[in-house]
């Protein structure tokens, strides 16, 4: 089969690899129909997530057709059109049993690395470094999906491929973040980052009862989509003082809930950016935290900060004082999409959610490196490049 | 032997032991003298070598003047290791231990472990365990470069659904013992398993120091092996990232250290 592989920081190539097969009884093999890029991949591309090996297949947001199932798979059969959740759950451990699939104890065969870094082993993720399991990703003709009954979801009628593919990652991530933010009816929610994840977080915040959502980014096209498609009040942080604007828009109270959809490669302004970038490049810290710091500072007293943006290691200049003295609640996590898929498909069927506009660049798998280039540079208004192997 | 040791495997120092002076007598004087000489010589030499001598000299002086040496402390057996060495008349003991909660009833887990031939299904370094009699088992461990290490153990305690303990027979290349306890987790959340392995590092104190410096690896291996047990018991399969069904058996890991016995001594 053909697959888009990571070779070195910012070097990708399309290679021919052996087709995957059933290894464990709960596996299924999917013939990939659509496989999207995601902001998380940029952290791998730029070399900020260690334990990538040359030849690793990228991709974790995908839709395909079931072509083979293991002996213990009961809920799927050949020919089913399905999406997979990017964070792998086993369905059996204590965490999975309680719906916290993102904290699965069993899905990572290389648990020792995250145990060393974070104190406990973390769940496996498709195409997301060896520390997170070393699973081959979905930018390929075929992909092996472990615990298929838990991680694969049949796409119901009336939901198109273009809509369904994002129920793999961007949509449940946004929904998870909004859910974790504990939004109360009438709340004002501020969302940093208007990529695929931010767009879905904005829409989800409304679905969960927010009165107003304010979206922060610097790309005009993304801010426009946040406004037109998701209904947010756009704020361009390169032109507007974000903190003051948030006060101005909320009668001085500040946003009740803040959601970080930016992550460790936040773009900053002025001296903070120079400082963060220099330290990150010297590997003195792993994160640039401009968006998260701003969110914590902007959040009203007793409010909630929900972090969806991915951070890998140690963040410098973390405003702990603001958290304590404003009695903030900090929530975070990789998405637990298995919990939300049925609900999300229902919203799509009812016309309350339509993630298909995230698909700006359908491309051939052979154009993979180019797709990532566009996505990374946010060139040609690229929101998400999606490969069609 | 008392397997419900009140002493935690993770307790590193005896009561009040972590801050007590641990360099005394001649050793302390030697530290002072060496430190002084190194420092003096280092200050007169130039380049990196000089700096290094100053650094080492300073460390030795600090060791001599305060009577405290963190490096030496880290290489001192833990209270449990001292207890085990004394009980078994070993020159020293090295322990490894991990605990894990598995969402299965105690009986099921006890029964699985009680059949020692099952152990090779999740212990990476164990090639196979042959059950010789209901209370004797023969272990074959993989070593690098196709070598193996073998020994026989006998059951020393068997409390159904609670505890299993075993001990190597006297002719074992590395004397070792182990026990595993099973306890209900709170709120019906399965079973808490605690596994402890102890072995006698072959070259006594020196072997202990060597094993200690390599400690991180076997401890992580132990954790990984118990996670594999958890995966197997909870999901019926062991997680893997391979994309093709295995055609060869699990490869021998190149690491020089072994979880279930001290291969650190077999060089
Ligand atoms: N938690 C999860 O399960 C999960 C899942 C998917 C993605 N993610 C993470 O979510 C984040 C966003 O993913 P994406 O696919 O939308 O990425 P993306 O690159 O498309 O979007 C990120 C956006 O953040 C904006 N941004 C950068 N600095 C900013 C700042 N200081 N203030 C406001 N906006 C800023 C960028 O302009 C960009 O539009 C990434 O960190 C990704 O790793 C998390
Ligand atoms: Zn993603
Ligand atoms: Zn699980």
Q: Percent of chain A at pLDDT above 90?
A: 90
Range of the domain at A89: 2-169+335-388
**Closest of B244, B251, B241 to residue A134, by C-alpha:** B241
pLDDT at A365 over 80: yes
User: Is the domain of A148 the same as that of A238?
Assistant: no
Same domain, A68 and A47: yes
> When comparing pLDDT for B97 and B191, which is higher?
B191
pTM (two decimals):
0.88
> For residues A313 and A194, what is the distance between their CA atoms, to the nearest angstrom?
23
Residue finishing a domain among A296, A316, A332: A332
Residue A269, both tokens: 């302004």
Rounded CA-CA distance B165/B179 in Å is 4
What is the number of the ligand 1 atom nearest to the C-alpha of A263? Answer: 41
Helix segments in B67-166, DSSP class H: 70-74, 79-88, 106-114
Chain B CB contacts of A116 below 8 Å:
220
In this structure, the answer to whether residues A143 and A180 fall within a common structural domain is no
Domain limits, chain B? 25-74, 79-235
**Residue at token pair 């490869």:** B251
> Tokens 């005009």, residue?
A220
A318 and A236 within one domain: yes
Q: Which residue of A has its CA nearest to B241?
A: A135
Together in a domain, A102 and A226? no
A294 and A370, same structural domain?
no
The yes-or-no verdict on residue B257 having pLDDT over 70 is no
Q: Rounded to whole angstroms, what are the CA distances from B66 to A32, A206, B192?
A: 66, 64, 43
Report the pLDDT value the prediction gives residue B2, as an integer from 0 to 100: 66
Residues A246 and A326 in one domain: yes
- In chain A, DSSP assigns E strands to 2-8, 11-16, 28-36, 56-57, 61-69, 81-84, 142-145, 152-154, 188-192, 212-217, 233-236, 257-260, 304-307, 329-332, 359-363, 384-387
The domain boundary residue, chosen from A286, A316, A332: A332
The answer to whether the CB atoms of A94 and B240 lie below 8 A apart is: no
Q: Does A93 touch chain B (CB under 8 A)?
A: yes
Reference A32, options A70, A6, A58, A71; nearest CA is A58
Q: Provide the angle, in degrees to the nearest 10, between the axes of the packed helices A170-180 and A341-349.
A: 110
- Mean pLDDT of the B207-226 span: 71
Four-residue CA torsion sign, A162, A167, A173, A176: positive
Boundary-marking domain end, from A314, A332, A350: A332
- Report how far apart the first and last C-alpha atoms of chain A are (Å, whole number): 10
Same domain, A148 and A188: no
- pLDDT digit string, tens, across residues A229-264: 999 999 999 999 999 999 999 999 999 999 999 998
Residues A131, A235, single domain; the answer is no
The answer to whether residue B174 scores a pLDDT higher than 60 is yes
Separation of A105 CA from ligand 3 center, angstroms?
5
The pLDDT tens digits for A74-112 are: 999 999 999 999 999 999 999 999 999 999 999 999 999
Same domain, A291 and A214: yes
- Regarding the beta carbon of A319 and ligand 1, being less than 6 Å apart is answered no
CB distance B101–A94 less than 8 Å?
yes
Nearest chain B residue to A90, by CA: B235
Domains identified in chain A, total number: 2
Annotate A186-225 with b (16+ C-beta within 10 A) or e (fewer).
ebbbbbbbbbbbbbbbbbbbbbbebebbbbbbebeebbeb
pLDDT per position as a tens digit, B60-89: 777 777 777 766 666 688 899 999 999 999
Give the DSSP letter of residue B251: P
Q: Is A21 on the interface with B (CB under 8 A)?
A: yes
Residue B254 is predicted with a pLDDT of: 38
Across all residues in chain A, what is the average pLDDT? 95
Write the CATH number for A239: 3.40.50.720
Q: Is the pLDDT of residue B19 over 80?
A: no
Distance, in angstroms, between A258 CA and closest chain B CA? Answer: 34
CATH number at residue A346: 3.90.180.10
| A46 shares a domain with A129 | yes
Rounded Cα distance between A347 and A339, Å, is 14
pLDDT at position B212 over 70? no
Q: Which residue has a Cα nearest atom 11 of ligand 1?
A: A309
Q: Do A94 and B190 touch (CB under 8 A)?
A: yes
Please name the member of A18, A25, A146 whose beta carbon is closest to the beta carbon of B239. Answer: A146
Are residues A46 and A119 both part of a single domain? yes
Q: How far apart are CA B244 and CA B222, in angstroms?
A: 26
Percent of chain B at pLDDT > 70 equals: 80
Task: Classify domain B79-235 at the CATH class level.
Answer: alpha beta
Average pLDDT rounded to a whole number, residues B209-229: 75
């Amino acid at each position: 089969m053909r697959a888009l592989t990571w070779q070195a920081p910012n070097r990708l190539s399309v290679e021919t690899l052996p087709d995957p097969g059933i290894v464990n009884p709960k596996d299924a093999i999917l013939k990939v129909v659509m496989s999207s890029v995601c902001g998380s991949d940029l952290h791998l591309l730029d070399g900020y997530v260690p334990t990538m090996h040359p030849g690793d297949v990228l991709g974790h947001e995908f839709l395909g057709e079931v072509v083979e199932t293991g002996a213990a798979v009961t809920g799927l059969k050949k020919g089913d059109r399905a999406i997979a959740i990017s964070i792998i759950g086993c369905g059996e451990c204590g965490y999975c049993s309680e719906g916290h699939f993102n904290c699965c104890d069993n899905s990572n065969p290389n648990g020792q690395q995250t145990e060393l870094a974070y104190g406990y082993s973390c769940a496996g993720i498709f195409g997301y470094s060896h520390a997170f399991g070393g699973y081959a990703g979905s930018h390929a003709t075929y992909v092996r999906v472990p615990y298929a009954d838990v991680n694969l979801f049949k796409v119901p009628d009336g939901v198109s491929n273009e809509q369904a593919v994002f129920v793999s990652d961007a949509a449940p991530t946004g929904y998870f973040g909004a859910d974790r933010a504990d939004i109360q009816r009438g709340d004002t929610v501020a969302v940093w980052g208007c990529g695929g994840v931010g767009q879905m977080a904005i829409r989800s915040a409304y679905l969960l009862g927010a009165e107003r959502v304010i979206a922060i980014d610097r790309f005009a096209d993304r801010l426009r989509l946040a406004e037109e498609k998701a209904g947010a009040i756009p704020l361009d942080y390169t032109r507007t003082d974000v903190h003051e604007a948030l006060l101005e828009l909320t009668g001085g109270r500040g946003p009740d809930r803040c959601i970080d959809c930016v992550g460790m490669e936040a773009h900053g302004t002025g001296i903070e950016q120079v400082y963060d970038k220099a330290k990150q490049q010297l590997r003195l810290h792993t994160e640039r935290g401009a968006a998260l710091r701003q969110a914590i500072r902007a959040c009203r007293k007793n409010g909630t900060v929900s972090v969806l943006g991915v951070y890998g290691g140690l963040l410098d200049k973390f405003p702990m004082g603001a958290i304590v003295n404003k009695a903030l609640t900090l929530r975070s996590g990789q998405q637990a999409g298995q919990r939300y898929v049925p609900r999300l498909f229902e919203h799509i069927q009812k016309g309350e959610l339509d993630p298909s506009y995230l698909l700006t660049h359908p491309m051939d798998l052979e154009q993979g490196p180019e797709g990532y280039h566009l996505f990374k540079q946010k060139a040609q208004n690229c929101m998400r490049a999606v490969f069609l192997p | 032997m008392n397997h419900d040791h009140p002493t935690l495997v993770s307790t590193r120092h005896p009561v009040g032991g972590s801050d007590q002076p641990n360099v005394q007598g001649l050793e302390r004087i030697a530290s002072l003298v060496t430190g002084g000489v190194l420092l003096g010589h280092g200050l007169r030499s130039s380049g990196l070598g000089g700096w290094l001598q100053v650094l080492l000299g300073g460390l030795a002086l600090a060791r001599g003047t305060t009577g405290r040496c963190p490096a030496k402390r880290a290489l001192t057996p833990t209270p449990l290791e001292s207890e085990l060495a004394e009980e078994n008349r070993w020159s020293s003991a090295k322990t490894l231990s991990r605990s894990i909660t598995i969402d299965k009833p105690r009986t099921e887990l006890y029964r699985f472990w009680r059949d020692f031939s099952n152990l090779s299904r999740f212990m990476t370094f164990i090639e196979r365990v042959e059950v010789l009699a209901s209370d004797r088992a023969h272990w074959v461990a993989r070593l690098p470069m196709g070598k193996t290490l073998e020994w026989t153990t006998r059951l020393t305690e068997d409390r159904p659904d609670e505890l299993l303990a075993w001990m190597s027979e006297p002719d074992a290349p590395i004397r070792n013992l182990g026990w595993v306890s099973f306890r209900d987790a709170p709120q019906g959340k399965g079973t808490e398993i605690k596994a402890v392995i102890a072995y006698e590092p072959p070259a006594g104190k020196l072997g202990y120091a060597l094993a200690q410096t390599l400690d991180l690896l076997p401890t992580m291996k132990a954790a990984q092996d118990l996670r594999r047990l958890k995966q197997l018991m909870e999901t019926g399969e062991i997680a893997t990232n391979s994309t093709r069904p295995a055609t060869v058996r699990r490869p021998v890991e190149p690491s020089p250290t072994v979880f279930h016995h001290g291969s650190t001594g077999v060089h």
